[in-house]
Each structure stands twice: as C-alpha cells, then as structure tokens.
Amino acid sequence: MDTSILMMLERASKNYSDKVVYRNGDESITFGELQKSTQAVGSWIARELSPGNPASVLTGRDIITPVCYMGAVQAGCFYAPMDSTMPVARLNQILGVINSQVMLVSEENLELANSLDYKGKIVAIEEILDTEIDEDLLESARNNLTEYSPLYVIFTSGSSGVPKGVITSHNSLMCYLDGLNEVLKLKEDDILANQSPLDYIAAVRDIYLPLITGAETVIVPKNEFAMGGQLFDTLNKYKVTTICWSAAGMEVPAKLGAFEEVVPQYLDKIVFSGSVFPGKYLKIWQENLPNARFINQYGPTEATASCTYYEVKEKATEEDLLDVEQSNAPQKHLSQGITEISIVIHEGKYHQVKKMFHAIGKEVFFLKRIRMGTLLLDEELAEGTYRKLTADELSGLMRITCKEK
C-alpha cells in the first residue's frame, strides 16, 4: 500500500505523463507537469520550513491550487487551505490557529494576504514555480513522512464556537479514495466537474481521485451554476462523465429548467451530498438521465469527507424525500441576465435591499444574509434549522450594541 499521496502522484505522472489532470477554461496542467511543478514548489518550501510544519495556502478555484497543496507535501509538510472568498475575520481566525510561518498565495490575492493579521512569510506561488528542483533536499525532507503523517488541516464552519481544524492523514485520505472508487469505478477516460471551493472538504474527491484513476477534473465557473442550460453546455463541452456535487447545487439547474434546454450527454455517475435532496428534483434528474447512477454520500470533515453511501436505484417521487424548499422566488427561467452580488448595508429595514435594487430597475430573486456584525452564518446548518449562539458570538454582538448606544 502507498505510504503517502506522493507515491500516487509519482505513479500517475509516469502512467499518464502527457494527459491533462486539471483544467480551468483555457488553462490546463498535465500529470507530468503537476509532478514537476509540485517538486519545484516543494524545493522552495523545504528551504523555508522544517518537515512536519504547516504551510498556509490562500488561493481560489484554479489549477494552481493543487500545485500549492502537493508542493507543501513534497517538502514533508502539510497544508492549511483557505479560499480567497472567505470573510477576512475567518481567514484571520484560521491563521491564528495554524500559526504557520509560510503562506503561499496566488498573485491576484497578494493584496488580500498582506492585509491579514499574519506575521509569517508571504510568497506568490507564480514566483516560485521555476525554482530549481533539489531532489536531495526533497528526499531528506520526506524521510520521516509516513502514511500517518498529516496531509492537510481543513477547518469546520465553527458550529460549536471557534472553527476547529481537522487534521487528516495520508492514510485516511488514501483509504477514503480507495473506498470511493470501489463504488464509482472511475477510469482514465472519465472527466469530473468540480463544484465546491478547493479548500472545502468535498473538493478532495476532485483533486485526488485523478491520481489513482488517471481521470481529469474540470473546474466549472461558479456563475454557471445559476445559469441552467449554460452549465450543462459546459458539461457537454468537456464530456463530463462524473459529478460529486452538493444536493443544493443539483437542485438549482432542476429548478431553472435546465433539462428543457440541454441534457448532459456524457454524464453517467452522479454523487450528491451535504443536505436533503427533495424528491421532486431528484425525479427530474432521473427522468432525464435514465442510465446514470445516483449515489448519496454522507460524512463530516472528521471522517475524511464521507463515511457512508447509498446508491439510489428506486425511482424518486415528489413524496419520497422531505421537500425543504421555502423560497418564494418566481419559478421561471433565470438563466438570462442573472447576477450574483455581495452587498454590505449598515442600516435598513422592511426589505431595504429589495427596494434599493427595485429603484434601479432590478429585481432580487434570492437573498441570503451571510453576516450580521461579527456574526457569520454557520455554513453547516441545514436549511430551516437553527442553533443557539455561543458565548463568544453573544459577546461580540453585545460589544457592537454597546458601541452603537
């Protein structure tokens, strides 16, 4: 059995050297290029960090992100992923817990990185991709790397207070991947489509399954998930055969009537997780993709993404599953002209945001509050559920209230 994901990478780079492993629009990287790029990054990190230490990574949904992750591992270290779209408060929380001495950052996020409460060394990943590979240094750095060494630390949303870091070992991930592929049976001609941020636990499937199968992962632009038929056009363009998406992500194209415009011709393996998938939307997927396999997975971050699954062979009906839809949004095609906007207001009531946009001739179809003062929305809460505020959260809100008075 492999003792680290580096053995998976090395084997894949030999077996599929010239084959694309990750693709994002016009950009792509082959298995062979991935091996060399991670070794170059690892050679740089090995001169900055001692083996066994964490390297923070601040990037986005880009093919450079896995290079950062595996570059840290090449140096005998582990990585702490952070997405550039996270609130600054959460980024600072994570950095405060990790206490890493090095942060790898994509060039476009350098300004953000320099604004954070971070005292370590910040480097743009693009600046070290051409570092000369030092094989002796890498071998020395990896001497103590075992299957039980930490691979990454991913932070939960903090449903019980401050976000906690969950450390996953090489062995845990490799066992998960082996078990998952026993179910999926991916081959080198399979194409996966990534939905989630690459710092999120669900993304480990899209990042690492190619290393044991020779498959390819395509990063789908975030905005296309709200554009119905265009999303399915992209799946057809890249001949996507496999998706591992959230149930909520699969609901959207069904709601928008995407199947009335385009049907994903190559899609035959569909994994969904994260929340309840209402029967009426699963029914739409099943009716339009009668030959596809539908697999429901469940598992927390602490269990390396998923620890149980159920292959749905029954035909769904509207009564099969709990319908949790609460939205009053018009049930019509929104694929034309839809825009996602983040807005901050300091006061307002009685549908203030909707009124503001209506005043300039725009309508709000979906509104989600993600922050109130220092209080961030708990991403692990299912739709329609709640939890009590922690003492720290109450204290933060009280401080704001006192200042306003």
Residue 207 reports pLDDT greater than 70? yes
Q: How confident is the model at residue 353 (pLDDT cuts 50, 70, 90)?
A: confident
pLDDT of residue 176: 93
Q: What is the pLDDT of residue 330?
A: 36
User: To which H or E segment does residue 138 belong?
Assistant: helix 135-141
Tens-digit pLDDT profile for residues 95-146: 999 999 999 999 999 999 999 999 999 999 999 999 999 999 999 999 889 9
Q: Which of 255-259, 285-289, 358-362 has the lowest mean pLDDT?
A: 358-362
Confidence of residue 402 (pLDDT cuts 50, 70, 90): low
Domain boundaries, the chain: 5-9+27-168, 366-404
Q: What is the spatial distance between Cα 181 and Cα 185, in angstroms, rounded to a whole number?
A: 5
User: Could you tell me the CATH superfamily of domain 5-9+27-168?
Assistant: ANL, N-terminal domain (3.40.50.12780)
Q: Are 63 and 22 in contact (CB under 8 A)?
A: yes
Q: Are 133 and 36 within 8 A, CB to CB?
A: yes
What pTM did the predictor assign? 0.78
Instruction: Please state the φ and ψ torsions of residue 11, each to the nearest 5 degrees.
Output: -65, -45
